[in-house]
Amino acid sequence: MKTEVSLNQHIPMRHFFILLGLVALAEMLLMMTVDPMMEASGYPVWIRAMADAGLLAIICVPFMLNFQLRPMQMAYHDPLTGLPNRQLFNDRLAHVLVMAKREQCSFAVIFLDLDNFKPINDRFGHRVGDVVLKLAAVRIESGVRESDTVARLGGDEFAILLADAESTADAERVIRKISEALSRPFEVRGHILELGISAGVAFYPADGVSGMELIDAADDAMYRNKALRKTLEAMPEIALRAR
């Protein structure tokens, strides 16, 4: 899905001076190698100048693009997992919302978080926790189509935008696929770690007609499902105590 990205991004000053240094180095190398070789071969000055300019562009343009696009990448993507961040997710949600209103179709927003991630992070530290988040992000993204969007909102919370979901069954199928993927143990630095997920779904227009309404509805549904599951898990213990 294409996303409009603001071009109002500035290269940091240190990157600007690094770029100037690379340009100067490239020009010096050209003057010491290519230019003398072409002069010895009898090429006129204007051809040598064009060759210098062309080679200089080939060397420097990739660095210039990298310095310019890197801040844009960081502004719209989570630095740890590489997934879209909250801002990019909201942009894509707004775009899909416009399309859905125009075509009078439905779509779904899924919120999910990783069960048992906090104990893992507390016990084994942030380094292990970060690796788990990266691996989990890959598995979550493998459960959706290319036309869908998976974003990391922060911590162990993720959001999924299903652009073509028409029914609850569509969203449940995705959640089930992701749940199965995350149910497989993670092996990180010699530790075997297990995760689960809590998920909530909101549909346009049944659960909201704006991006904020859909986000709040999916978030509320996720926490209701999490609380319900904890209640059900505690019921056997309550029954034993009653006896």
Q: What DSSP designation does 155 have?
A: T
**Active site positions, annotated:** 156
pLDDT in tens, 42-53: 767 667 667 666
Residues 6+ apart with CB under 8 A from 5: 72, 75, 76
**Tokens 């439905």, located at residue:** 106
pLDDT in tens, 58-95: 656 665 555 554 555 557 889 999 999 999 999 999 99
Q: Which domains does the chain have, with CATH numbers?
A: 13-76 (no CATH), 86-242 (3.30.70.270)
pLDDT in tens, 107-136: 999 999 999 999 999 999 999 999 999 999
Residue 229: what pLDDT?
80
User: How many CB atoms within 10 Å of residue 81?
Assistant: 21
Q: What is the pTM of this model?
A: 0.69
Residues 6+ apart with CB under 8 A from 243: none
